[in-house]
Amino acid sequence: MNRPVLRAAALAAVLPIAVLAGGPASAHVTVDSPDAAQGGWATIAFTVPTESEDASTTEIEVRLPEGADLEHLSTRTKPGWDVTVEPGRTITWTATDGGIAPGEFDVFEVRGGPLPSDVDSLEFVATQHYSDGTVVAWDESATEGGEEPQRPAPTLPLAPADETADHHATDATDSDATGGSQQAASEDTGGVDGVLLGATALALAGIALVAAVRRRRTSR
């Protein structure tokens, strides 16, 4: 099983979990991926905390960035939630039970691609709906060198496509080198075994010849 799948399984196994006390970032809607690269496919996880003290999160809508159509998109089945996908535009999760209670968070996963190859990050817009009717939009863009916005838009960094390709090429080269070494070792072992078998056969033939000569002399 590969690392992105293990990571996704680990996330799913521990949710929902209480949000620990911490800085303001602990209450933000965020996005993460173990394998997001330009032009590739990725498993994308949206972490949604409930920052309200007396209302639960009952719906989360994610709007896809412009230009990132993600032609092929699939969602992970999530008990207690219905999901609706508007291709190329939005993904919406709606609670069928109690939603995300105060002080808790949950993770919503999708997998899709191909990701854009001409940008180094994707900025999503998340709209969070609460059981008391409150609606919070996470749609503020961060500015370079500026303070963090109060409601930052979830932003996913994309690794350069050539780094991913180089990584796979290195893995393939290492695998070929390992296979070649194992084959060479096997061939060397086979050569040694052949020499030993040949020497043993010659020794047995010599013993048989000596025995035959002795029998012949005795018979005279």
What single letter denotes the amino acid at residue 135? V
Domain map of the chain by residue range? 30-157
Instruction: Check: CB of residue 36 under 8 Å from CB of residue 42.
Output: yes
CATH of domain 30-157: 2.60.40.2230
Section 74-98 average pLDDT: 96
24-49: pLDDT as tens digits: 445 899 999 999 999 999 999 999 99
Residue 133 has a pLDDT of 98
The yes-or-no verdict on residue 17 having pLDDT over 60 is no
Instruction: Check: CB of residue 32 under 8 Å from CB of residue 156.
Output: yes
Residue 30, H or E segment: strand 30-32
Q: pLDDT band for 112, please (50, 70, 90 cuts).
A: very high
